[in-house]
Structure 1
Amino acid sequence: MYYVVDDKLKDWVMGSAAKKWRDFKSELKTLYFDDKTDEELQVVPDNRVSPTDWEELVAFWKSERGKKRSQQGKQNRKEMELLHTSGSKSHARVSHEMHMKNGYPPHRHEVFMETQKCKKTGAPSSVAAANMFKKIENMENERPELLEKTIQQGGLFSHVTTKERNGYVRCKGLGPSAASLGMLGTRKLKSTKLQMAEEEAK
């Protein structure tokens, strides 16, 4: 029921728990809500869900707010061009393996290219990935000094991508936020992800 978590890990643990909870709710909705009758929805389909929680979930999914959020989520997924292509491996794990293999911590653009290439051919996994590979290559040629800069100093990858989302940094895995990493133009505040997870836990 309770765990003691070091403060350094709290952001990651809460973010991970929040993601697992979202994924679990999504699975419940797909399996036991979509295309079901009102009568079928009265039965709690999974023994990991209490009757009260199930009732609240069904009520939310039926509400206008729930329908709007679902529609927005579907639209966002359709617009995503760069998908996670490293299977069950997180970016953090890929980065660690690259560090062990090459003897130095990889830059974000190197992690990106490693996770966005076809394992068999080594070619970019999609048109969007190919475009990003080209941007990275051009930036390497035009501004080679960026290869020496850290993420805090505004390394190369920061110059070929859009601004990071709140509470998430591309190619760094679950947990680190732009502020916690000390990236340029950020202040070290509690991440939005952690704030949301703590609010949900209340």
Structure 2
Amino acid sequence: MSLKPLEHDRKYGELDQVIRAHLGHSAHDEEALTAYLRHCWRTRPWAIAVAENQLREYAQNPPGRLRLRLGEFYPVPDVGLPDAEIQTWLVQLADRLKECVETGSAPAPATPQTHWEWHARFPELGQLLGGWFSQDMPDEFEDHDAALHDYVDGTDPGLIAQLRGELSDLLSLPLEESDHALALAELGMEVDPPTSYSPGAWLSELAARLP
């Protein structure tokens, strides 16, 4: 019997966040773990202890192949390690998280450094850019304004307010134009900004046009 959503989140929800923060990086990449810790200390520091417990429980009670095949356990995504090394790596992660909580050693605030951190910090902006400004945008909308209007017309006002906050947060960061271009790409935008706008100027224009 496969995992139900509630059971998944209760047993593996925060473990999953730690693992996904490492996707696209080597398992022992400090940048990936630092990005996870920086975001959690900023938004929900209690989650670090939850992740530590879930990582340790999973490492101490690894699933057999049959239960994984049946979908009864969380399958660890590929992080570039042989199966025989996964258990040790999970324990090492748990130890690092435990040390972080016990010492209160939070990473210094910084611009997002990984794909996971960009989306964790700016989820609604990622939803807008990835959903309305993908490579299919020219086939679906007349121009950038039409795409934005479609997003606004079909999106809950609370989410639009969240987007305004995320844009304000992003624009407050000390970024160069190349950094703004990187942010747009990391968050899913696959088309260029309108011809007359730089990446940073278009982000400012987006913020100004939201209701």
TM superposition score normalised by structure 1: 0.34
Bigger helix fraction: 2
TM superposition score normalised by structure 2: 0.33
